[in-house]
Amino acid sequence: MAYIQSNRWKISRRQTLKGVGATLALPFLEAMRPMTAYGQSAAATTNPVRMACLFMPNGVRPDKWTPSGSGRNFNLSPILSPLEAVKDDITVISGLSNSPSKKGDGHYYKTASWLTCTTIEATEGSNVSANGISIDQIAAEIIGRSTRLPSMELGTEPITSGVDRNVNLTRLYGSHISWKKPDVPLPCEINPRIAFDRLFRNRDKNGNAGASADQSVLDIVLDDAKSLQRTLGKEDKHKLEQYLESVREVERRMENEASKLGSGQKLTPNALSQLKILNQAINEATGAKNSDELGSRQRLNATEHVRLMMDIMVLAFWTDSTRVSTFMFGNAVSGKNFSFLDGVSGSHHSISHHKNDGKQLDQYQKINTWHTEQYAYMLKRMKAIPEGNANLLDNSMILFGSGIRDGNAHATKNIPIILAGGANGQLKTGRHLDTGGGELGSLYVGMLKRLGVKSNKVGAFNSELRGI
């Protein structure tokens, strides 16, 4: 590892910790700050803006989602109550529609076009087309050139295939929100071990990690880490220790969970079949009424799976390994069973078709609240990480929402959307913004602008949403 000898305290922003089989990018340290930046304004050392788009399937209970009040004078709704600790860091955006998605029935038109703001091609086969590129990939094409990974696509469920005869559409549309090209959807990685290794572990052209596969990445780079620590000041040593402990924590938790999960990439028909069998077994198990222990264990697994993925996204943003990520809590029309939540019995999709039944609505609300809790978890983690004169959340945009308002009606007006983070001072936060009928595509135009992406068009939309 080579350091700059003329100023031994100073290291490159692209410095890494290396060992045989692993490479760890570093978080921002004071020793990475240019000499000329000391004593100057924050603008002189602008941190990069990151963007994550977190998709929740099947909509929300509409009467328990929207906050009361407007502007900074608002109160969080019951579903959004887990966000109280980060209320000043979010903007709840009401009134948005994704108009191009309303041209087709069901969930698929609303899911596949959530980030493209286009109308998908109707097909029952594999010849899918979103008729547009998703905003994450528009961004990755430009700002992804500055990072090790152009983007990350993460999720929790394997790709769903086959045809949904209720709407005569391929189920593939329900498994993708990220589109590199109009006819090239990007699959979600669902195994946290593989996602983690993609960040930190070196693999050969065949994807093999070799003899280092069973070693902790921190053990692999330990000598390099000790060498670097000797060159750092007290504050940077603390930052480095905090980062390395976060990596170690994710590794420990990952080992407990990742072996139970499959990969969402390059699934063979046989592997996909096996994952379907596994998912079915899990759903049946969590639906058992006579096993409190099993239900408790599955509660841990479902929540821990999501949080591991979120922690990996946070590590990726913290180290500037990527500035763009997407995450799918689940696929559209998924049969994922939420019986691990107290008072819930059944799958998310079926419960979302509540038919205004009070008991179903209450279960729907509990599932929505669980999703919000996971979102709040990620925001709190990011807010706790100092970066420059702010924190990682301040320098990011973390989108959370769904492609439909109410799962029962498949409504595309006033869809649930929250945007957290200040994009390095470019966004107003801590408020409820009622657009009165704005377009989702216009929000995305504004988000791309704050990423520094010179694109004035998302789908057919080329104007920025007013008020953001």
H or E, element range at 180: strand 179-181
Residues 6 or more apart whose Cβ sits within 8 Å of residue 388: 28, 42, 45, 47, 395
**Is 0.85 surpassed by the pTM of this model?**
yes
C-alpha to C-alpha distances, 10 to 39, 43, 358, 388, 427, nearest whole angstrom: 16, 20, 62, 15, 32
Residue 149: DSSP 8-state: S
Mind giving me the DSSP string for 53-82?
EEE-TTB--GGGTSPEEEBTEEE--TTTGG
**Separation between Cα atoms, residue 294 and residue 455, nearest integer Å:** 49
In one-letter notation, the amino acid at residue 333 is: V
Straight-line distance from the first to the last Cα atom of the chain, in angstroms, rounded to the nearest whole number:
44
Residue labelled with tokens 């045809």:
163
Note whether 464 and 453 are within 8 A (CB): no
pLDDT per residue, tens digit, the chain (468 aa), is 443 333 445 788 888 999 999 999 999 898 887 755 444 443 345 789 999 999 999 999 999 999 999 999 999 999 999 999 999 999 999 999 999 998 877 899 999 999 999 999 999 999 999 999 999 999 999 999 999 999 999 999 999 999 999 999 999 999 999 999 999 999 999 999 899 999 999 876 666 666 677 789 999 999 999 999 999 999 999 999 999 999 999 999 887 764 554 444 333 344 444 444 444 443 443 343 333 433 434 444 889 999 999 999 999 999 999 999 999 999 999 888 999 999 999 899 999 999 899 999 999 999 999 999 999 999 999 999 999 889 999 999 999 999 999 988 888 889 999 999 999 999 999 999 999 999 999 999 999 999 999 877 999 999 999 999
Q: Where are the alpha helices (DSSP H) in 287-413?
A: 292-318, 348-352, 358-383
The 3-state DSSP class for residue 159 equals coil
